[in-house]
């Protein structure tokens, strides 16, 4: 039985004068990657030291200045990895590593052993403060939980004094913050901050985890704003967020939380993390980028990021993952494809200063994606998309009236195969149905004589000779074909253009003709416009199936 009545609604705090809804994100927060800790502990097969090292190097390359590298007191692999980073001097001078520990002395002591010799680091200590955890897991009162937090803060400070050559930052997390009474969460954090005396100049971070996402993002933002307003030593503290994705809103909660006053955001690449995942740094960073805000992280080679993350975590990047997925810049819909083609051309022709292209919130090339990812053809695709593929990949520009007959051919092939049609197959179908012509219908020579407004012409087509008259070369050829084969010919559409500049440029002609009531289309390229037009007519005529008459 799907019984919604067993659940109760989240009880929001009262904040009638909230300010965050009127704000806009104008700069990136401080970022901290937790891929190597939170992301790693969520894997079916945790990363090896080698995999962690590779991912760490990627995070440094992307521009992260704070990286949580593990829980060294919890496992030997985590301990060994931290020692590897320190002993092999793999941590750049501008990067601060962070390690997590529970508020227990033996674990804090082991954590400092793992960090011995590091130049600068964040010691991140936590204990759970939520109502559920206090009552059902630990069986502790409010005072008991606060005492654990304060004692943990004291041990963190005492052991730091044994390593005076390291620049230590302290971080405290009231785990399950989003499920903690706000005044109590503030009370516990105030007590921890008082122990650490931030006014002395030490970097202090208070991290607010939505360990389980319990409410809509706006309610979480209210919690953050309330917390920031009432924290005693707010001016000395960096407020950090660590949102999980149980409701699918971790990115939105982090964005609104920053509007509400937070300074820093913890998250992972692709949102890898426990249960439904963590806050996705790529999504939030690219959201900022698409609004003209510097994300302070470099995602210009998204394909490399995907490959490293997949290799190290064993989790494939979803094809519809925001910004990074294989298909997120791909349009199969015909109307979308046509809009993209027109919008890209408009953007280029008008030299627009800011990107403003239909269906593409950013230029895919900014993150290493090429335009072949934008338009791909299947049975749902329309005429604009097929034409765009030819224009994009083969520099073949067709008049608009040619789009439908071409797309009809390609769509038929897609429906028959049931799969996507590649650009190479689109080109093959275009050549086969509109360009290719047998030797019998190839124009080998022609001769034009103009008298007044009339043209007399003779043509050598395959092995036969024909002649006709008309207002121009094309009309003269139609007259010759009508006389020879006793058919009716009407030109419906005609277009021609030079393929490049200069006097020796080839010309392309496109034609649609009605022959004995049936419509045929063709395209031809030749050394001059007349030859291209004549060959296009012959190619279209050849599609009727009429056999040529051999020369006498």
Report CA 327 to chain centroid distance, whole Å.
9
| DSSP helix/strand/coil, 298 | coil
* Token representation of residue 519: 């419509």
List the Cα angle 250/254/256 in 5-degree steps: 120
Annotated binding residues, written as ranges, equal 38, 242, 244, 278
Torsions phi, psi for 267 (to 5 deg): -170, -175
The partner residues of 524 in beta bridges, in order of sequence, read 509
- Distances 478 to 124, 279, 457, 475 between C-alpha atoms, Å: 84, 68, 11, 5
Report CA 422 to chain centroid distance, whole Å.
22
Burial class (CB within 10 angstroms; exposed 0-12, middle 13-18, buried 19+) of 164 = exposed
The partner residues of 98 in beta bridges, in order of sequence, read 68, 122
Contact between residue 411 and residue 515 where contact means Cβ atoms under 8 Å apart: no
HSE, CB side, 13 Å, CA atoms: give it for residue 286.
Answer: 22
Classify the C-alpha dihedral 114-116-117-118 as positive or negative. positive
Contact between residue 360 and residue 340 where contact means Cβ atoms under 8 Å apart: yes
Calpha distance 142→150 (Å, rounded): 12
- Distances 357 to 180, 291, 324 between C-alpha atoms, Å: 45, 14, 19
The partner residues of 171 in beta bridges, in order of sequence, read 124, 205
Calpha distance 177→208 (Å, rounded): 6
List the Cα angle 142/148/149 in 5-degree steps: 90
Annotated binding residues for Mg(2+), written as ranges, equal 38, 242, 244, 278
List the Cα angle 220/223/227 in 5-degree steps: 145
**Based on C-alpha coordinates, what's the Rg of the chain?**
34
Angle, helix 182-196 to helix 142-160, in steps of 10 degrees: 30
- Distances 62 to 54, 294, 295, 297 between C-alpha atoms, Å: 13, 13, 11, 5
Calpha distance 152→73 (Å, rounded): 15
Calpha distance 84→57 (Å, rounded): 13
Nearest to 79 by CA among 87, 314, 273: 87
Calpha distance 460→501 (Å, rounded): 29
Strand pairing class (264-267; 30-33): parallel
């Amino acid at each position: 039985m799907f019984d919604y009545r067993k659940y109760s609604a989240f009880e929001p705090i009262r904040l009638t004068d909230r300010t965050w809804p009127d704000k806009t994100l104008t700069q990136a927060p401080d970022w901290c990657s937790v891929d190597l800790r939170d992301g790693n502990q969520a894997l079916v097969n945790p990363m090896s030291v080698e995999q962690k090292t590779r991912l760490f190097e990627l995070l440094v390359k992307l521009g992260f200045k704070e990286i949580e590298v593990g829980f060294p007191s919890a496992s030997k692999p985590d301990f060994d990895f931290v020692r590897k980073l320190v002993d092999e001097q793999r941590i750049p001078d501008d990067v601060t590593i962070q390690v997590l520990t529970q508020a227990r002395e033996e674990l804090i002591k082991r954590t400092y052993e793992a960090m011995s010799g590091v130049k600068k680091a964040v010691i991140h200590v936590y204990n759970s403060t939520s109502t559920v955890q206090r009552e059902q897991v630990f069986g502790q009162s409010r005072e008991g939980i606060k005492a654990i937090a304060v004692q943990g803060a004291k041990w963190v400070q005492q052991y730091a004094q044994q390593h005076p050559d390291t620049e230590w930052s302290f971080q405290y997390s009231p785990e399950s913050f989003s499920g903690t009474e706000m005044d109590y969460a503030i009370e516990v954090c105030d007590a921890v901050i008082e122990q650490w005396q931030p006014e002395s100049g030490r970097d202090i971070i208070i991290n607010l985890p939505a360990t389980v996402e319990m409410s809509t993002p706006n309610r979480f933002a209210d919690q953050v704003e309330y917390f920031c307003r009432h924290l005693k030593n707010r001016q000395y503290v960096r407020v950090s967020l660590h949102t999980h994705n149980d409701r699918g809103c971790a990115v939105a909660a982090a964005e609104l939380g920053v509007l509400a006053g937070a300074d820093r955001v913890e998250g992972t690449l692709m949102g890898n993390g426990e249960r439904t995942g963590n806050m996705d740094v790529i999504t939030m960073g690219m959201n900022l980028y698409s609004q003209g805000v510097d994300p302070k992280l470099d995602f210009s080679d998204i394909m490399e990021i995907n490959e490293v993350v997949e290799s190290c975590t064993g989790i494939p990047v979803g094809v519809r993952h925001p910004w990074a997925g294989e298909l997120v810049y791909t349009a199969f819909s015909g109307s979308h494809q046509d809009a993209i083609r027109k919008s890209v051309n408009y953007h280029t022709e008008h030299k627009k200063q800011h990107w403003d292209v239909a269906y593409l919130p950013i230029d895919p090339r900014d993150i290493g994606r090429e335009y072949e990812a934008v338009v791909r053809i299947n049975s749902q695709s329309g005429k604009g998309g097929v034409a765009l593929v030819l224009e994009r990949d083969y520099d073949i520009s067709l008049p608009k009236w040619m789009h439908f007959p071409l797309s009809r051919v390609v769509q038929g092939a897609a429906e028959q195969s049931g799969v996507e049609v590649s650009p190479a197959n689109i080109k093959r179908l275009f050549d086969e149905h509109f360009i290719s012509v047998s030797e019998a219908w190839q124009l080998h020579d022609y001769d034009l004589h103009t008298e007044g407004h009339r043209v007399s012409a003779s043509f050598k087509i395959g092995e036969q000779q024909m002649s006709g008259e008309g207002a121009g070369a094309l009309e003269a050829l139609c007259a010759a074909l009508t006389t020879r084969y006793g058919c009716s010919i009407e030109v419906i559409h005609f277009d021609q253009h030079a393929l490049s500049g200069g006097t020796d440029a080839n010309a392309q002609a496109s034609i649609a003709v009605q022959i004995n009531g049936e419509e045929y289309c063709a395209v031809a390229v030749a050394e001059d416009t007349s030859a291209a037009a004549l060959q296009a007519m012959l190619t279209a005529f050849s599609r009727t199936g009429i056999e040529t008459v051999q020369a006498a």
